[in-house]
Structure 1
Amino acid sequence: MSTLLIKVGGAAAAASGVLVVVQEVWSLAVGGLTEGRAESAVHTTQVLLLVPGVVGLYLAQQHAMRRFGQVATLVALLGSTVMSGAALTEVTLLPELTAAGSPLADDHGTVTGVIWLVAVATWIGGLLLFGTATWRAGVLPRPAAALVVTGLLLGLALQGFVPGILTVYAGGLVWLGISAARRPAPAPTVSPASALVS
């Protein structure tokens, strides 16, 4: 069962990275993403795929993750889940509010703004911690984990100045996902007691 979860999670992580590249290319092609249902759906799907993606990547290296890796995984899962819920409102509620001419479409209010900021901070912080934990575990390719962390930091610093900068993060995510999905299944371990019984 865990082998299936690793493969599905690895594929989800890789697909999430591909969707980040699609967003970046789309942004370059049209001169910046405008807020709309299609653009928001791509972003929401990319974030939602991180939930099974993080689970699969964790399972692929759980034996080497230690406590820091477990905490990093929990924060990354929490951040990805909360962020996908927050992003889902862009696809479902925001277009309807805009069509109805609601003032909430432009001014989301203080509480919604705080929730959004907490979601983004937990999401990015969790992915930074998870990338660091993946590097420390050394099971999946360390350069891929470095790309995830470096790409996120570059995105935070340069997103408004360097078009397509998040492709660095996406490349690391795709690499980690493919590496996890292609890992051979672990050999079953035989305990000394069961060997005596046979």
Structure 2
Amino acid sequence: MNSNRNTTVIKGNIKESKRKITTSSLIRWAGLSAMAAGIFYVVVGMFHQSNILSSITTSQWAIVHTLATAMCILFLLGITGLYARQAEKAGWLGLGGFLLYSLNWVLTGNFTFAEVSILPLLGTEAPTLAEGFLGVFTSSEGETDFGVLANLWTLTGALYILGGLLFGIATFRAGILPRWPAVLLIVGSVLGPVVAVLLPLEHQPKVAIPVGVALAWLGYALWSERREQASENVHGRASTFAIK
């Protein structure tokens, strides 16, 4: 009887350990996603060309906006992991920031996909239409009315500011992940769009750099933390089996 009971307990412990390792691994990979997305965001900010007709048919435009599309997907995965790691202590503030920030990247991802897949074709076949689409990003009016898209793009700006602000504050208050990148996320989210208005058109995308650094930093913290915990769990389990 004791032997059967011990066997059942051991099997239960093994299953529980596997679940913990799986959860830990998923969150760790989410950290890696956030880190990659943050790096992509910095690259996009540094090399993004001006939103003018002559830019959209260049190789640089295609590369940057392909990275931007991948970045949005990775951000969604990364932010989910960052929130999951601190959900209990982040509270409603963290949940609100997570939802708003995620919606921002969903909408932004659709725009970047259109910029890399549709806009270059319009630039060649229908330049007037392409200029109208570019006007969505520069708040300039063209011959074609993109009112709905312009409103959605304006919404992404509000979600970017509010979502980043709330998520950064929740991360800072939770105290689980490093606080300095949380501060950088708060400052970059709030001041970035304001500073962008004051910068020349060609330098406006560079306001993405602080936010990219902040999210890459948080992603690295999550990834390295989970790697260390996974290593400790493996060694601890090996020691337990050795004693038995």
Instruction: Specify whether residues 121 and 144 from structure 1 end up closer, same or farther in structure 2 by C-alpha distance, changes over 3 A only.
Output: same
What is the CA deviation profile of residues 71-115 of structure 1, one whole-angstrom value per residue up to 9, with x for unaligned ones?
Answer: 211111122112212221111111122221253212131112112
1:125 to partner: Cα distance: 2.4
Alignment correspondent of 1:112: 149
Structure label with greater radius of gyration: 2
AA aligned opposite 1:166: A
Instruction: Specify whether residues 142 and 15 from structure 1 end up closer, same or farther in structure 2 by C-alpha distance, changes over 3 A only.
Output: same
Instruction: Specify whether residues 165 and 47 from structure 1 end up closer, same or farther in structure 2 by C-alpha distance, changes over 3 A only.
Output: same
What is the CA deviation profile of residues 33-84 of structure 1, one whole-angstrom value per residue up to 9, with x for unaligned ones?
Answer: 7443222222222222210011010112122111221121111112211221
| Structure 1: stretches of 5+ with no match in the other structure | 189-198
Is 1:3 aligned with 2:24? yes
Alignment correspondent of 2:64: 39
Is 1:170 aligned with 2:212? yes
Q: TM-score, normalised by structure 1?
A: 0.81
Alignment correspondent of 1:161: 199
What is the CA deviation profile of residues 106-139 of structure 1, one whole-angstrom value per residue up to 9, with x for unaligned ones?
Answer: 2131112112222332233222221121112111
Q: Percent identity?
A: 28
CA distance in structure 2 between the aligned counterparts of 1:43 and 1:110, rounded to whole angstroms: 23
Quick check: 2:44–2:67 contact (8 Å CA) kept in 1?
yes
Deviation >6 Å, runs of 4+: none
| Structure 2: stretches of 5+ with no match in the other structure | 1-21, 134-145, 234-244
Instruction: Specify whether residues 140 and 44 from structure 1 end up closer, same or farther in structure 2 by C-alpha distance, changes over 3 A only.
Output: same
Higher helix share: 2
Q: TM-score, normalised by structure 2?
A: 0.67
The alignment of Structure 1 onto Structure 2 pairs a total of residues equal to: 185
The 5 A counterparts of 1:1-198 are 1-26=22-47, 34-35=55-56, 36-101=61-126, 103-108=128-133, 109-159=146-196, 160-161=198-199, 164-184=206-226, 185=229
CA distance in structure 2 between the aligned counterparts of 1:88 and 1:175, rounded to whole angstroms: 26
